[in-house]
Amino acid sequence: MNLMDALAPFTIATPQLFDGTAMRGPALVTVSGSLIQNVSFGEAPSPGMIALTSDAILAPGFIDIQVNGGGGVLLNDDPSEAGVRRIVEAHRRTGTTGCLPTLITDRTDMIERLAAIAQGSLQIPGVLGFHLEGPAINKVRKGIHLESEIRALSARDLAAMESFGDCGRSIVTLAPECVPPSVIDDLVRAGLRVSAGHSEATAMQIAQAADRGLSAVTHLFNAMSQLTAREPGVVGAALDDERLFAGIICDGLHVDPLSLRVAMRCKGRDRLMLITDAMPLVGTDLRHFLLQGRHITLRGTRLTAPDGTLAGAHLTMMQAVHNAVALLGVDIADALTMASRTPATFLGLASELGAIVPGYRADLVAFSSKFEVIQTWVSGRPNP
């Protein structure tokens, strides 16, 4: 099917459909333009329809709110429309139809460079906004972030960050204890979602930040104060506070399977979101890359700096869904919810994305019982 064909109505015949809530039997999904026009059950496929294989599942396309790179590109190294496009296209091949390219802690001028191309990049299929992870984070919990660039926000930093408020559905990750409370007010007022990450905050500080509009926690368990007997920390606050969404890296390396299961029991599929925190090697055969002057090496599925620090993840959303089933012990419907419906809700897009119902955007993924992506569609257009 070429691009022009995608503009005409077409119907996908699928033996299994996840509609955003539950798994359902054989279905016909008709797409007209960029939207889902009709979903029907109990009808036999007709000639001319796109017939998926007998073991296939059709689901809402995956939404990844934290993507540092892909296709050989790190956003920090190439904050351009061409760089964003390569990242997005690499992840689309693995089931992600919507993502937030992520800039990790860097110089003020890098934030401004990304801001300059952000509006134009929203025209790239699959770009829902951007994620600014830092620079106002806690050096104690810096992880792989470059310590020399971690800083209090200047007026120039804040202005650059606020400019993303009208750029899709963008996110800022910060450590609440490292900024004046008014910063959260300013960012939320500008239209940004604020997430706590790389933070040594107390549970009380997280609760106070949530009162001001903090709405999520970035890569739960990693680079944050932990749950202890007398201080619940960021982890305890995240697990307890129903207002907070939480992203989690489900690769079996960043978070122990037992902790994954605890998070699932506490947050449930409607607040826990699968993320990749992916680095540029995704979608390539490369085994090394440079991260702000440091050599990062891939061994197996583990990305590490020379000192052994984990440097993001070598993970796709399709793999994260598979891992959620295998490591959390959840059913496929729960895993798919955390990969699509829940992040759509967090981003305020639950009336447009994350479900296969008439009127929703035709962002779809078809994959096999072996968790291999067959095809994706963004706004009704198939991946070339």
pLDDT of amino acid 5: 46
Active-site residues, by number, are 277
What does the DSSP 8-state code read for residue 130?
A: -
pLDDT of amino acid 384: 84
CA distances (Å), 171 to each of 37, 91, 305, in order? 31, 19, 26
Q: Which residues contact 137 (CB under 8 A, 6 or more apart)?
A: 105, 145, 150, 173, 174, 175, 178, 197, 198, 199
pLDDT of amino acid 4: 40
pLDDT of amino acid 69: 98
Question: Among candidates 346, 285, 356, which has minimal Cα distance to 21?
Answer: 356
328 and 260 in contact (C-beta within 8 Å)?
A: yes
Distance CA 128, CA 299 (A): 31
Q: Which residues contact 188 (CB under 8 A, 6 or more apart)?
A: 194, 212, 213
Across 4-43, b (16+ Cβ under 10 Å) vs e yields eebeeebbbbbbbbbbbeeeeebbbbbbbebebbebeeee
Distance CA 287, CA 296 (A): 8
Query: Cβ-count burial of 46 within 10 angstroms (0-12 exposed, 13-18 middle, 19+ buried)?
Result: exposed
Radius of gyration of the chain (CA): 20
Query: Cβ-count burial of 109 within 10 angstroms (0-12 exposed, 13-18 middle, 19+ buried)?
Result: exposed
CA distances (Å), 271 to each of 69, 253, 258, 340, 348, in order? 25, 21, 18, 12, 13
128 and 99 in contact (C-beta within 8 Å)?
A: yes
Distance of CA 328 to the CA centre of its chain: 19
pLDDT of amino acid 155: 97
Q: Which residues contact 214 (CB under 8 A, 6 or more apart)?
A: 176, 184, 194, 195, 196, 206, 244
- Classify residue 295 as left (phi > 0), alpha (psi -120 to 50) or beta: beta
Distance CA 361, CA 34 (A): 6
Query: How many C-beta atoms surround the C-beta of residue 382 within 10 A?
Result: 18
Query: How many C-beta atoms surround the C-beta of residue 381 within 10 A?
Result: 19
Query: What are the residue boundaries of the structural domains of the chain, listed by start?
Result: 3-59+356-382, 62-346
CATH class for the region spanning 62-346: alpha beta
Single-letter code of the amino acid located at 139? K
pLDDT of amino acid 2: 41
CATH class for the region spanning 3-59+356-382: mainly beta
Q: Which helix (H) or strand (E) holds 51?
A: strand 50-51
Taking only the tens of pLDDT, the chain with its 384 residues reads 344 444 789 999 999 999 999 999 899 999 999 999 999 998 888 999 999 999 999 999 999 999 999 999 999 999 999 999 999 999 999 999 999 999 999 999 999 999 999 999 999 999 999 999 999 999 999 999 999 999 999 999 999 999 999 999 999 999 999 999 999 999 999 999 999 999 999 999 999 999 999 999 999 999 999 999 999 999 999 999 999 999 999 999 999 999 999 999 999 999 999 999 999 999 999 999 999 999 999 999 999 999 999 999 999 999 999 999 999 999 999 999 999 999 999 999 999 999 999 999 999 999 999 999 999 999 999 998
